[in-house]
């Protein structure tokens, strides 16, 4: 496992959606909990829970994934709520942006998670508070 917990979390969530899992477990850190709070507030996941394994060696975050259901002539189609989740700023190449240059993801239908001096927030919240920061990922 790498030291980039954010990339690990995003990859596990992406793979769980592709495999149509209901829950995914990721290592619990302050950053992954903050990202999970944003995913919950933006309605990309149903819920999340922080728990420790019985021997106390590892703390995990359990995310309940959200799907939409569509009915067509062949039956029911299960579609993930998150279509694309992409890491932007990496340990080897940080991407910073000012508040007036904050990107709009799919014309406002997606979000960018930004690490600012005021904490983690969405691109919309960063624009409203007029703060810039490091763009962690895009979700749509």
Per-residue pLDDT reduced to its tens digit, 81-91 = 999 999 999 99
CATH value at residue 31 = 3.30.1370.30
Q: What range defines the domain where residue 4 resides?
A: 1-81
Residue 9 burial (CB count, 10 A): 25
Residues 75 and 97 in one domain: no
Residues 94 and 130 in one domain: yes
Task: Answer whether residue 1 shows pLDDT above 70.
Answer: no
The residue from 57, 81, 105 where one domain ends is: 81
pLDDT, residue 58, reads 86
- Band (2; pLDDT cuts 50, 70, 90): low
Residues 73 and 97 in one domain: no
pLDDT, residue 37, reads 98
Residues 89 and 31 in one domain: no
pLDDT, residue 7, reads 96
Residues 102 and 119 in one domain: yes
CATH value at residue 117 = 3.30.1490.10
CA pair distance 57, 54, nearest whole angstrom: 8
CA pair distance 52, 123, nearest whole angstrom: 32
Structure tokens at 70: 């569509």
Query: How many degrees, rounded to 5, is the angle at CA 100 between CA 104 and CA 119?
Result: 80
Number of domains in the chain: 2
Residue 10 burial (CB count, 10 A): 23
- Band (137; pLDDT cuts 50, 70, 90): very high
CA pair distance 50, 59, nearest whole angstrom: 7
Residues 70 and 15 in one domain: yes
pLDDT, residue 31, reads 96
Q: Which residues of 64-85 are buried (b: 16+ CB within 10 A; e: fewer)?
A: ebbeeeeeeeeeeeeebbbeeb
């Amino acid at each position: 496992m790498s030291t980039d917990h954010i990339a690990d979390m995003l990859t596990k969530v992406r793979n769980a959606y592709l495999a149509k899992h209901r829950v995914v477990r990721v290592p619990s850190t302050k950053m992954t909990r903050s990202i999970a709070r944003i995913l919950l507030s933006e309605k990309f996941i149903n819920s999340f829970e922080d728990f420790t394994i019985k021997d106390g060696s590892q703390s995990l975050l359990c995310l309940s994934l959200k799907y939409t259901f569509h009915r067509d002539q062949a039956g029911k189609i299960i579609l993930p709520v998150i279509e694309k989740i992409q890491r932007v700023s990496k340990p080897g190449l940080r991407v910073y942006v000012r508040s007036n240059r904050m990107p709009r993801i799919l014309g406002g239908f997606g979000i960018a998670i930004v690490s600012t001096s005021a904490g983690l927030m969405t691109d919309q919240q960063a624009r409203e508070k007029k703060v810039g920061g490091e763009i962690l990922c895009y979700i749509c």
